[in-house]
């Protein structure tokens, strides 16, 4: 069972399953390396439109990760927050309900870098419900389809 996703922060957001957040990952013929050498770069919230519909994820970094996150190029599906955090939207619609989007999940999170400006972020997904995982699966299947 896949316990992590990798969000590849390309011009178009790509979502991939991985079994483990290893120090080095090869994804779509690109070698990504753990930029901060840490398994936990911050806490995160799954951005929900309803109880089981995830629209994205908000990453709030620990102090040591703030500077590295500022180096990520802006993307159309990304909102950089005043506290150095990021919101990453899985669909064109960035609508979510704040009251049901404050998990403060603290599973494994890693920032990966490849080359000068290619980034990816890994997230632990083990705390998501079956329906939330099914939605993620649908997004990943659609992207790869």
d(CA 75, CA 134): 26
Q: Where are the domains of the chain?
A: 4-144
Residue-wise pLDDT for 91-144, tens only, equals 887 899 999 999 888 889 999 999 888 999 999 999 998 888 888 888 777 766
Phi-psi region of 15 (alpha: psi -120 to 50; beta: other; left: phi over 0): beta
CB-CB contact of 99 with 45 (8 Å): no
Beta strands in 30-135 (DSSP E): 30-34, 42-50, 53-61, 78-80, 86-89, 109-114, 118-124
pTM of the shown model: 0.93
Residue-wise pLDDT for 16-39, tens only, equals 999 899 999 999 899 999 999 899
């Amino acid at each position: 069972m896949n316990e992590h996703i990798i969000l590849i922060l390309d011009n178009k957001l790509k979502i991939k399953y991985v079994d483990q957040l290893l120090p080095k990952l090869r994804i779509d013929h690109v070698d990504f390396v753990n930029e901060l050498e840490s398994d936990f770069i911050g806490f995160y919230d799954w951005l929900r439109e309803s109880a089981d519909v995830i629209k994205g994820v908000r990453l709030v970094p620990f102090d040591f990760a703030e500077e590295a996150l500022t180096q990520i190029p802006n993307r159309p599906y990304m909102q950089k927050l005043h506290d150095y955090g990021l919101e990453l939207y899985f669909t064109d619609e960035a609508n979510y309900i704040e009251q049901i989007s404050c998990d403060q999940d603290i599973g494994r999170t890693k920032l990966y870098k490849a080359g000068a400006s290619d980034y990816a972020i890994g997230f632990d997904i083990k705390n998501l419900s079956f329906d939330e995982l099914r939605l993620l699966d649908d997004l990943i299947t659609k992207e790869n389809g």
